[in-house]
Amino acid sequence: MAKRTTKQTPVTIDPKPETETVDQTPEPSTVSGDYSRLTEFDIYLFRAGKHTRLYEKLGSHVVEVDGVVGTYFAVWAPSARYVAVIGNFNGWNKGSHPLKVRWDSSGIWEAFVPHIGRGEIYKYAITHDSGRELEKGDPFALWWETPPKTGSVVWDNWYEWKDDYWMRNRGKINALNKPISVYELHLNSWRRDPSEPTRQLSYNEVADALVPYIKELGFTHVEFMPVMEHPYDPSWGYQITGYFAPTSRFGTPQDFMNMIERLHQENIGVYLDWVPSHFPGDAHGLYEFDGSHLYEHPDMRKGYHPDWKSYIFNYGRNEVRAFLLSNALFWLDRFHADGLRVDAVASMLYLDYSRNHGEWEPNVFGGRENLEAISLFKELNEAVYKDFPEVQMIAEESTAFPGVTRPTYTGGLGFGMKWMMGWMNDTLRYFQRDSYYRRWHQDELTFSTVYAFSENFMLPFSHDEVVYGKKALISKMPGDEWQRFANLRLLFTYMFTHPGTKLLFMGCEFGQTSEWKFDGSLDWHLLDYAPHQGMKECMKALNRLYRSEPALYEQSFVAEGFEWIDTTDRENSMIVYARKGTRTKEQVVIVLNMTPIPRTDYRIGVPAAGTWAELFNSDDRAFFGSGLLNSQPLVSEPQEWQGRQASIVLTVPPLGAVVLKYQNNEA
């Protein structure tokens, strides 16, 4: 892939962050409505809902017109009878700099304002046909004031990227037949300044700590919870007002680009959480943008989300579809994101989501599916994979909606991966049980393979599982302290050897003991204690195992990559299975002991006769385990067991997992 250099404007603007205002009180005559970045073809695509690069056209753009540097403003407000740009440069006087509505009935207002440069704060003063007056931020603003301030900022996305190697090779690294192990984090609460715990770190400060930490742990990707500008911290970023701007809480857009670049330089991919499902009703945001239901559906049975008290995009309106398509491609294009995790997909797919009888209207066929959202997903994924075939689109979809990760030409939605919510719920339910009772609930673990290959699944232990009274993962585990940590190591080993890619929320890797707090740091001091340091070492070893063994990732989404060896030893709560790569010799066997009773001289059938060596043992002393290992190679015997012609005898530690690899073909 050729080097990508994103440049928004045809002139070079001094990158210093200070406001560039030449004339603080320009006259109305200095506003020009003759310059436009929009062509007739742009308008056609916009009105057809097919424009995927609106961020190059709408919003604010510093340009040079007839030798004069200024800013071009363009905003969609079809129900407005008057629109003006206001800011410090004109004393927030709505009569000073009016925009001109286009002649083509597109509803776009535009103007070039000279002597307005990078760093200028602005809003749009909008008067609805009814006379109602509003002040709105720019839906396409590239940067915003830091909340609680609500102004948009004239900015650009100019950045000299230095991640050429990653961008040329990410198609191979980011592929579905490669290991994908994702570390999910929330920028505001991953780490704070130890000397000043209330101070948020900047993008650059986070990068200083995050990049070496992810490299040490061995995760292949990070996933940032929403970084788009949002007014309310407790929303965790899921109530967005600035869809085209990383939040200014931590620095400039270029600072965020630099963080991504530094991760790429260490061969670490970056996924971004993306929220096309809803937006808040803040006065400066998208809600009733021009005085009408412009971005949200006008029927509140489709336009209002009862769970989140927010508003739902009108997926059937072409211009709104173009807004969402452009926004998705914007983060892939301008910020070199390697994929988008699409939030709350189920809420978009179903008209009756979180609604009682009588609170929703069936589709034209009498069904509950939102046909407009379904068509949008198909169009979105086709557009993304056409322009960025080496990225991943990941659906957070919590139902059994068919074909989420199947190609659109077969009727699927076209995503690359889908969160395996059923696996997560069943697995956590099982592990929370006292080990004595697990013998009666083995099906909670084995059931996942009934549907594991129906989609391209990602196994998530996300932020949703450690908030609102659900407790931290380590606190869900039964038993005393040693057993809780052994159970968590066992859980993670099961996760990393089960078919599917992986996602783990920050803090879980070292056994964070308290629930996640969005407004405070993780408890990094816990790493001073052996159980937590051991958990971190275990996670490092699991990532090494996952990345080094093709059997664990080459065939994650097909049944040929998995084989049950034994699920019948319920009395001892033992489970044995195999993972297989594309080559016969690339296979591993996993043995799980779900009780605190060590199993010595335990016989299992193996897929092939020969020598098997222990690759990983969750009971290693380095992990705070008891050190009950299989230090010597295990040579198979010609004794039929569990339907296999050959078998081996090994030791399985208490609440432990053993991973064995086939060495040769000698009996």
Alpha carbons 385 and 415: distance in angstroms, whole number: 9
Total Cβ atoms within 10 A of residue 533? 17
Total Cβ atoms within 10 A of residue 468? 9
Q: Which two tokens stand for residue 76?
A: 């969609």
Is residue 17 within 8 Å of residue 119, measured between CB atoms?
Answer: yes
Report the b/e string of 117-155 with b at 16+ CB within 10 A: bbbbbbbbbbbbeeeeebebbbbbbbbbbebeebbbbbb
Beta-sheet pairing, 392-395 with 339-342: parallel
Q: HSE on the CB side for 104, CA within 13 Å? A: 15
Known catalytic residue at 359: no
Residues 6+ apart with CB under 8 A from 10: 63, 64
Alpha carbons 310 and 305: distance in angstroms, whole number: 5
Q: Which two tokens stand for residue 492?
A: 């993670």
Residue in 343, 444, 549, 614 annotated catalytic: 343
Beta-sheet pairing, 269-274 with 221-224: parallel
Known catalytic residue at 343: yes
Q: How far is CA 42 from CA 83, 107, 622, in A?
A: 21, 13, 60
Q: Which amino acid is at 286?
A: L
Residue appearing with tokens 């590239």: 142
Is residue 628 within 8 Å of residue 658, measured between CB atoms?
Answer: no
In 3-state terms the chain splits into helix, strand, coil percentages (rounded to 5) of 30, 25, 45
Alpha carbons 464 and 346: distance in angstroms, whole number: 15
Q: State the alpha helices, DSSP H only, in 406-524.
A: 421-431, 443-446, 448-451, 473-476, 481-497
Q: HSE on the CB side for 89, CA within 13 Å? A: 30
Residue in 120, 156, 379, 396 annotated catalytic: 396
Is residue 643 classed as helix, strand or coil in its secondary structure?
coil
Q: Which two tokens stand for residue 416?
A: 């690359």
Q: HSE on the CB side for 41, CA within 13 Å? A: 2
Alpha carbons 148 and 19: distance in angstroms, whole number: 20
Q: Which amino acid is at 280?
A: P
Which phi and psi angles does 333 have, rounded to 5°? -80, -60
Alpha carbons 519 and 359: distance in angstroms, whole number: 35
Is residue 636 within 8 Å of residue 606, measured between CB atoms?
Answer: yes
Helices (H) and strands (E) in the chain, counts: 15, 31
**Residue 115, Ramachandran bin (φ over 0: left; ψ between -120 and 50: alpha; else beta):** left
Is residue 137 classed as helix, strand or coil in its secondary structure?
coil
CA 660: distance to chain centroid? Answer: 33
Q: HSE on the CB side for 392, CA within 13 Å? A: 32
Considering only CA atoms, which of 28, 114, 30 is closest in space to residue 67?
114
Alpha carbons 37 and 112: distance in angstroms, whole number: 10
Which stretch of DSSP H or E encloses residue 71? strand 68-76
**Which of the residues are catalytic?**
343, 396
